[in-house]
Amino acid sequence: MSVLVVTGTDTGVGKTVVTAAVAAVAAARGASVAVVKVAQTGAVPGEAGDVDAIGRLAGLTDLHEFARFPDPLSPAAAARLSGRPPVNAARAVDAVRELAETRRLVVVEGAGGLLVRFDDEGTTLADLAHTLRAQVLVVARPDLGTLNHTALTLEAMAHRGIDPAGVVIGSWPEKPDLAMRCNIRDLETLAARPLAGAIGAGAGALHPAEFLMAARSGLAPALGGTFDAGAFRAAHDPTRGER
């Protein structure tokens, strides 16, 4: 059994699609997989949330959402504005541990970035990951500005003793610009390891069978896929004069 936490360098970087990719590949290899969304914001009761998208893409039904708030804000702010109780971090940890007792893999998707608050006391996804002793997979944007956000996320993890599972580019375009191609090597330098994957842009709109193929090709072997970081780096090497 293991727990993998998925966070992002920002909101909208592709966390949900990467979470679905990890879950889909693991399930296709015969593992029992549960997916957890600790806090869903920006969705009213009955409206589809991130776990629904993950379930559709990965073909999973073992999906768990611990809290939901209607406003598209941080979980702490959304709870405060709605007048509802915030995420109970201790109960969330206990629930994830209970799931992990009977599943090979539990994938936990955060909300926003690593240090976004769940409550007014300042509890964050980093605290949950540290308490669970879980590795954290960082999902990053490919474009200009991503290096600073990624460096800050990895530095915060190191400061808290959180083990990184790697960095995945959440949405890699068909025609990357110069900054994106240059960022590949720098992201690997920041992570002190090869990229853990790059998911093609638009993967979230694919049918499940097509998505599984994209997930496998977009995730590194450590995550169950076939992504070759060296080949990816070489193919997009900016010194090759492709402008």
Query: Is 37 in the active site?
Result: yes
pLDDT score, position 240: 78
Residue-wise pLDDT for 178-210, tens only, equals 999 999 999 999 999 999 999 999 999 999 999
Q: Which domains does the chain have, with CATH numbers?
A: 2-240 (3.40.50.300)
Catalytic entry in 15, 37, 141, 216 = 37
pLDDT score, position 241: 59
Q: With pLDDT > 70 as the criterion, what percentage of the chain qualifies?
A: 98
Residue-wise pLDDT for 128-183, tens only, equals 999 999 999 999 999 999 999 999 999 999 999 999 999 999 999 999 999 999 99
Calculate the average pLDDT of the chain: 96
Average pLDDT over residues 8-12: 94
Residue-wise pLDDT for 65-88, tens only, equals 999 999 999 999 999 999 999 999
Confidence check: pLDDT of 230 > 60: yes
Average pLDDT over residues 212-216: 98
3-state secondary structure labels for all residues of the chain: CEEEEEEECCCCCCHHHHHHHHHHHHHHCCCCEEEEECCEECCCCCCCCHHHHHHHHHCCCCEEECCEECCCCCHHHHHHHHCCCCCCHHHHHHHHHHHHCCCCEEEEEEEEECCCECCCCCCEHHHHHHHHCCEEEEEECCCCCHHHHHHHHHHHHHHCCCCEEEEEEEEECCCCCHHHHHHHHHHHHHHCCCCCEEEECCHHHCCHHHHHHHHHHHECHHHCCCCCHHHHHHHCCHHHCCC
Confidence check: pLDDT of 243 > 90: no
